[in-house]
Amino acid sequence: MRAIALLRTALIGLLLVTPSVFAGTVLVWGDSLSAGYGLRPHQAWPALLEKRIADAKLPHKVVNASISGETTAGGRARLPAALQLHHPSLVIIELGANDGLRGLPVPAMNDNLQAMIDASREAGAKVLLVGMRMPPNYGPDYTRRFEKTYRDLARANKLRLVPFMMEGFADKRSYFQADGIHPIADAQPLILDSIWRELKPLLR
C-alpha cells in the first residue's frame, strides 16, 4: 500500500510539473542569419536564446527551423506544416533578406509576411517580427520601401518589432564572415540582445 501511495504522489507531482516545463515552444522561422550559416550550431543566436531562456527559468523551449537561402515565399509555403508539427506558442519571423538580395518585389514580400503572421496567429501563436535593411547600392527607393514594409506590418498587426537584427554592428566589417553578409560568432550575442528586448515581454 505504501508503494502505491508513493507512486500516486509521484504521478501527481509529474502532472503539476510537466505543464510548466513544456509551457510553450518558440519557433524561429528564418533564413541563414538564423540558421547559423558558417557557425557551429551552439554559436548561432537561436542556441544562445535557448540558453538565455533556461537561465531566466522561463518555461519555453526553442525550435530553430530556419533554412539558409529561404525567401518569404518559401517560408510561407513551409509554415503550415511546421505549425502543425511544433504547436508553437510564439513564432519569430526573420525572413526577407533573401527577397531583398534578389531584388524581388516588395509587395510580394509584404503579402508573404502577412500570410505567415495570419497563419501563426490562427494557430494560437504570438508573433515577433524581425526586420532587415538593404545596402544602399540597391537604390534609395527600394531600400526605403523594403525597410518600411516591416514597420507597416508591425503597426497594422500590432506586433512587437525588432527593426534591424544587425543594429549596432552592421557597419563593422570585422563582425562578418568573408562573404560580408553573414555575422560571425562574436556578433551572435549582439543579435540576441536586439531580439531579446522585444521577445522577453512576450515570453512572460
Q: What is the DSSP string of 113-132?
A: HHHHHHHHHHTT-EEEEE--
State the DSSP H helix or E strand holding residue 61, giving kind and residue range, or none if neither: strand 60-64
- Residue 32 in grid coordinates: 541563414
| Residue 89 among the catalytic residues | no
* Residue 167 per-residue DSSP state: T
**Rounded to an integer, what distance in angstroms lies between the CA atom of residue 61 and that of residue 21?**
9
Annotated catalytic residue, options 55, 141, 171, 179: 179
The SS3 assignment for 202 reads helix
Annotated catalytic residue, options 68, 111, 182, 193: 182
| Residue 32 among the catalytic residues | yes
State the DSSP H helix or E strand holding residue 62, giving kind and residue range, or none if neither: strand 60-64
Confidence at residue 21, expressed as pLDDT on a 0 to 100 scale: 57
Whether 129 and 160 have beta carbons less than 8 Å apart is answered as yes
Confidence at residue 7, expressed as pLDDT on a 0 to 100 scale: 40
Query: In the Cβ-directed half-sphere of 118, how many Cα atoms lie within 13 Å?
Result: 8
CATH fold of 22-203, please? Answer: Rossmann fold (3.40.50)
Q: What pTM was computed for the model?
A: 0.89
Confidence at residue 204, expressed as pLDDT on a 0 to 100 scale: 80
Annotated catalytic residue, options 31, 32, 60, 120: 32
User: Angle formed by the axes of helices 140-157 and 106-122, to 10°?
Assistant: 20
Q: Which of 56, 55, 65, 57 is nearest to 26 (CA)?
A: 65
Confidence at residue 10, expressed as pLDDT on a 0 to 100 scale: 41
Confidence at residue 2, expressed as pLDDT on a 0 to 100 scale: 52
| Residue 68 among the catalytic residues | no
Confidence at residue 6, expressed as pLDDT on a 0 to 100 scale: 39
Residues, the chain: 204
Whether 31 and 68 have beta carbons less than 8 Å apart is answered as yes
Residue segments in the chain with a per-residue pLDDT below the cut of 50: 1, 3-20
The SS3 assignment for 200 reads helix
Contacts of 185 (CB under 8 A, 6+ apart): 39, 40, 43
